[in-house]
Amino acid sequence: MGVRRVVTGNDDNGKAVVVADADVTNIVRPSHRPGVAIHNVWVLDGAPAEINGPEETTDRTIGLLPPTNGSVFRVIEFPPEKDWIDSVDPDAAKAAWESIGAGHVGVTEKPAHPLMHKTDTVDFALCLEGEIYMVLDDSEVLIKAGDTVIQRGTNHAWSNRSDAVCKMMFVLVDGQQ
């Protein structure tokens, strides 16, 4: 499944134009996360954003976290986890985070879900299709298509217990505790 990305800009005369219209090509498939696909749509290296900046920002390795003072926009496909979640022990979870440049984010002391993690970000999330549980330290919330989440640097995990892929949109903004 592709994620189409249309990028606009201004030509030499200041006229609004489309500078790119194609499927996202920066797709990360983390090791130890069977079927997960992270479509990196756009990255901002800082704020305020440079409006007339580069026409491509995803032609580099992009890990889980946004750049310092920046943000990242992505769409993630979460497959059903029932066939593989039992094989995720603490070492496999750490390896999964390390494979996307974030080995330090995992929660190690008796997490509510093996892929619990905590980042110094504010995350804006929108469920595009399917459903997924947001797992927190002491509770779970079922997120369905059309639901939004503002995740503010908390321990959390995403658990797809359904029989269908869940597609989520995220904007991660660098933050501080």
Three-state secondary structure of the chain: CCCEEEEEEECCCCCEEEEEEEECCCEECCCCCCCCEEEEEEEECCCCCCCCCCCCCCCCCCCCCCCCCCEEEEEEEECCCCCCHHHCCHHHHHHHHHCCCCCCCECCCCCCCCCCECCCEEEEEEEEECEEEEECCCCEEEEECCCEEEEECCCEEEECCCCCCEEEEEEEEECCC
Arithmetic mean of pLDDT over the chain: 93
In a domain, 30, yes or no: yes
In a domain, 161, yes or no: yes
State the pLDDT at residue 142.
98
In a domain, 133, yes or no: yes
Q: What percent of the chain has pLDDT over 90?
A: 77
Instruction: Report yes or no: 174 and 67 within 8 Å, Cβ to Cβ.
Output: yes
Distance of CA 108 to the CA centre of its chain: 21
- Report the Cα–Cα distance between both ends of the chain, in Å, rounded: 36
- Please tell me which residue, 118 or 85, carries the higher pLDDT value: 118
For residue 41, give the nearest of 24, 61, 20, 19 by alpha carbon: 24
State the pLDDT at residue 85.
85
Q: What percent of the chain has pLDDT over 70?
A: 100
In a domain, 137, yes or no: yes
Confidence of residue 151 (pLDDT cuts 50, 70, 90): very high
Give the CATH number, domain containing residue 150.
2.60.120.10
pLDDT in tens, 15-55: 999 999 999 999 999 877 888 999 999 999 999 999 988 99
In a domain, 124, yes or no: yes
Q: How many domains does the chain have?
A: 1
In the predicted model, what is the mean pLDDT of residues 106-122?
90
Structure tokens at 9: 């800009």
In the predicted model, what is the mean pLDDT of residues 168-173?
98
In a domain, 117, yes or no: yes
State the pLDDT at residue 157.
95
Provide the residue range defining the domain that includes 107. Answer: 24-174
State the pLDDT at residue 87.
81
User: At residue 108, does pLDDT exceed 80?
Assistant: no
Confidence of residue 99 (pLDDT cuts 50, 70, 90): confident
In a domain, 6, yes or no: no
The Cα–Cα gap between 134 and 38 comes to 17
In a domain, 37, yes or no: yes
Read off the pTM: 0.93
State the pLDDT at residue 42.
98
